[in-house]
Amino acid sequence: MLNKGRSLNTVKSLPPSFKKYLPLAALSFCVLVFNAGCSNLDGVESSATLIADRDEIFNQIDVDSDGVIDRADLELAAAFSDLELVGARYPGGTITIGEVLTSLDEMPSSKSSRSDILDPSVVVARLTSMLRLRLSAIALGELGFDLDLAQSDVEINEAVQSHLEGDFEVYARDKAFAEDPRLVKFATPHCITVLGVASEIDSELAIGRILGGEDPSLVADEVNLPTISAPGGDMGCANLLDWAENFGEMAAPLSELGAGEFSKPSLTYSEFSYTGELWISLYVSEIKSAEIEKDQLGPFGNELLASEVLKHASSVEVDSAIGIWSSSTVSISLN
């Protein structure tokens, strides 16, 4: 249904940049009953001209591309024609259709470079982006980070990105570490020696020798298969996420191990093994607790900001003629 107080006739007062929508409401009915003899339209000189332009105009009105012009198409066309229409309300402000079109003119989307040849989905996508940007700015402001909603979209976006890459990222990282002590463990460099042998028995024997006091690097040089190329089995030092990238599931036990401890032998396969099997065990030679690499686990800011934006999303209202607002996905879908 059209909002109370807004008539399709109001589109006649629009500026030239949006002229293509001037005849939409009246013309759409004539397209539907064309065979009944609708031939004289405002801005259309003859029925021959109408025939030539009908498909193009139909596509402009049929915003959902279902081959049928219905009330939803007419309402959306009228909504996008009303530049003063408040397309959305958010905590502390509003966004008009005119502001959305201005934004598209200043920062064209990949689909269109002019506001007078827009696909309605482009307008809705930009309105969604503008809402997300403002909700982000509001969330950052409430957390104590300086932003000015009176600035242009470009300036607000630059300010949000600056905070995400700077002080807000530090804030989010410190908050995450305070709330989850496991992150300290994950960010702490673990120095690893790897043993890679042809059987589980060989692996257990090698582990026993090291636990018995033998030098891990000497044992590794003696027993490792050629597929383990690191001298002395020394893999260096890295945080647990880096080890997970290198060893996959075999690195999972590292979070539970202390210095001087081994992971249980894990089976994989290698052409360098006479059995075809490769049994891998990881030895933690040192944990560098004084060298925590917090920055290596990030970024943290995007996730925190997204959760803060969701807290405000339920306060957003979108004009029913434009689409349906989802606070869970922070997005607008066309009717």
Nearest to 236 by CA among 293, 285, 291: 285
Q: How far apart are CA 44 and CA 80, in angstroms?
A: 22
Of 26-30, 81-85, 152-156, 168-172, minimum mean pLDDT range: 26-30
Residues 92-112 pLDDT 10s: 899 999 999 888 888 877 665
Asked if omega into 120 is within 30° of 0 (cis), the reply is: no
Residue 21 in contact with residue 81, Cβ under 8 Å?
A: yes
Residues across the chain: 335
Neighbouring C-alpha atoms within 13 Å toward the C-beta of 333: 5
Give the tokens for residue 318: 């979108």
Around Cβ 159, how many Cβ atoms within 10 Å? 19
CA distances from residue 255 to 59, 193, 243 in whole angstroms, order as listed: 59, 15, 10
Domains, the chain, ranges and CATH?
8-81 (no CATH), 88-179 (no CATH), 182-294 (3.10.50.40)
Taking every pair of Cα atoms in the chain, the longest distance, rounded to a whole number of angstroms, is 101
- Please give the pLDDT value at position 54: 44
- Pick from 19-28, 117-126, 135-144 the range whose average pLDDT is largest: 135-144
Torsion of CA 185, 186, 188, 190, to 10 degrees: 100
Residues 245-279 pLDDT 10s: 888 888 889 988 999 999 999 988 877 778 888 99
Confidence of residue 50 (pLDDT cuts 50, 70, 90): very low
Q: How far apart are CA 169 and CA 85, in angstroms?
A: 37
Give the tokens for residue 314: 């339920």
Percentage of residues of the chain with pLDDT beyond 70 = 74
Q: How far apart are CA 182 and CA 304, in angstroms?
A: 18
Task: Give, in degrees to the nearest 5, the angle at Cα 237 between 198 and 273.
Answer: 10
- Please give the pLDDT value at position 58: 45
Nearest to 103 by CA among 81, 83, 89: 83
- Please give the pLDDT value at position 321: 84
pTM: 0.61
